[in-house]
Amino acid sequence: MSKSKGYAALTAKAQLAPYSFERRETREHDVVIDIEYCGICHSDIHQTRDEWSDYQEESIFPMVPGHEIAGVVSAVGSKVTKYKVGDKVGAGCFVDSCRNCAECQRGLEQYCSVQTVWTYNGRDKEGAPTYGGYADRIVVDENYVLRMPNNLPLDACAPLLCAGITLYSPLRHWKAGPGKKVAIVGLGGLGHMGVKLAHALGAEVTVLSQSLKKQADGKRLGADHFDATSDPETFTKLAGSFDLIINTVSAKMDWNQYLSLLRVDGTLVVVGLPEKDVPISAFSLTARRRSVAGSQIGGIRETQEMLDFCSKHGVACDIEVVPIQKVNDAYERVLKSDVRYRFVIDMASLAKG
């Protein structure tokens, strides 16, 4: 075991505070990553506050959150072939899976039917709790490590590892591209990457935001249209117009209203994870053979494909870098939708205590 330093929530809803813990010894296939940046995902807030208890096993505390991890390889195990010391690498929402089930064989490790080992708030295959990226180092099997773009700033790429892949995967699965009308609901961390990626894929992109406050940003990020969902006229004007709507909103809302915006055979893909169930009327679906679907991050192969796509198209995240001492303030600002558009922790600040 080796000592690691980070920030943790000691109990549910507690403020994050400095915390020391043990990382496992480096095994033959392990890569040790010195973490330089870690993004703040809304899921970190849901989990440190234990908001998903209706749907998941109880959260594990103390919890070191963070699954948008970017850094540099500082050591490798004796059998590692994919990475060497000095490489710019990342780790996302999971760090292992069974590797044998049908889903793992298809590169869908996030849907492993045996066990996806989540980067934090999970248990490894030996049953020990996992600790995430609000920390100085992490030890990850080379098969679950990603190669980061060399031509883009590492801090702005960290959130690709969750926000980026969570939008890229459904955009690809539901074939967003030229001739397709795509709406992104919620212009936060996930949403702003949805706009950039859908635009880079060639789709016609509309942002559906609560107000028009972020309109100029939306257009700059690549949106063709921007509408406010607080204006009832929006739902009349856009009825039956989209092929694909991706809903990134973390709060409960009326999904039937959004279904009415789909054309025949259109799909509403849910990626935001509200705390409570949301009712859907059968008529919202039957009227135009519409579908509701969900999507969860992406597998390792697809995450690497997304990183390479971003490298090629010069796509990175719009970020505000904060020292770790400001993490609790950053959480409050995310909750107020006051983030443009992802907070990223500069891990060098950890040394300051």
Site string for ligand NAP, 269-298 (x = CB under 6 A): --xxx---------------------xxx-
Query: Of ligand NAP, Zn ion, none, which one sits near residue 189, judging by CB under 5 to 8 A according to partner kind?
Result: ligand NAP
State yes or no: residue 188 binds ligand NAP (CB under 6 A). Answer: yes
| Interface segment toward ligand NAP; rule CB under 6 A; list 1-9, 23-31, 42-50, 97-105 | 42-50
Question: Which residues, 158 to 177, sit near Zn ion by CB under 5 A?
Answer: 162
CA nearest 146: which of 334, 330, 301, 346? 301
Report the distance separating Cα 147 and Cα 116, nearest Å.
Answer: 20
Q: How far is the CB of 100 from Zn ion (least distance, A)?
A: 6
From the list ligand NAP, Zn ion, none, partner contacted by residue 98 (C-beta under 5 to 8 A by kind): Zn ion
Q: Are strands 94-96 and 117-118 parallel, antiparallel or unpaired?
A: antiparallel
What is the sign of the dihedral through the CA atoms of 169, 173, 177 and 183? Answer: negative
Nearest to Zn ion of 167, 292 (CB atom): 167
Assigned token pair, 352 = 């300051």
Buried b (16+ CB within 10 A) or exposed e, 106-131: eebbbebeeebbbbbbbeeeeeeebb
Single out the residue of 45, 104, 135 nearest to residue 336, CA to CA.
Answer: 45
Binding range to Zn ion, per CB under 5 A, among 97-105, 260-268, 287-295, 317-325: 97-105
Q: Which stretch binds ligand NAP (CB under 6 A): 13-21, 36-44, 127-135, 138-146?
A: 36-44
CB 298, min distance to ligand NAP, A: 8
- Taking CB within 5 to 8 Å according to partner kind, which of ligand NAP, Zn ion, none is near residue 250? ligand NAP
Q: Does 186 bind ligand NAP (CB under 6 A)?
A: yes
Q: Which of 115, 121, 45, 15 lies closest to 275, judged by CA?
A: 45
Asked if 43 interacts with Zn ion (CB under 5 A), we say yes
Within residues 163-182, the interface with ligand NAP by CB under 6 A covers 166
- Least distance to ligand NAP from the beta carbon of 42, Å? 3
Among 8, 31, 161, 190, binds ligand NAP (CB under 6 A): 190
Q: Which of 205, 249, 307, 316 binds ligand NAP (CB under 6 A)?
A: 249
- Cα separation of the two ends of the chain: 22
Min dist. Cβ of residue 43 to ligand NAP (A): 4
Closest CA to 66 of 113, 146, 122, 135: 135
Q: Which is nearer to Zn ion, 104 or 138 (CB)?
A: 104
**Does 128 engage in binding with ligand NAP (CB under 6 A)?**
no
Residue nearer to Zn ion on the CB measure, 266 or 272: 272
Nearer to Zn ion, 256 or 337 (CB): 337
Find the binder of ligand NAP among 4, 32, 33, 43 (CB under 6 A): 43
77 or 107: CB nearest ligand NAP: 107
Of 209-238, binders to ligand NAP (CB under 6 A) are: 209-210, 214
- The nearest distance, CB 94 to ligand NAP, in angstroms, is 11
**Smaller CB separation from ligand NAP, 48 or 311:** 48
Q: Would you tell me which residues interact with ligand NAP (CB under 6 A)?
A: 41-43, 46, 162, 166, 186-191, 209-210, 214, 248-251, 253, 271-273, 295-297, 334, 337, 339
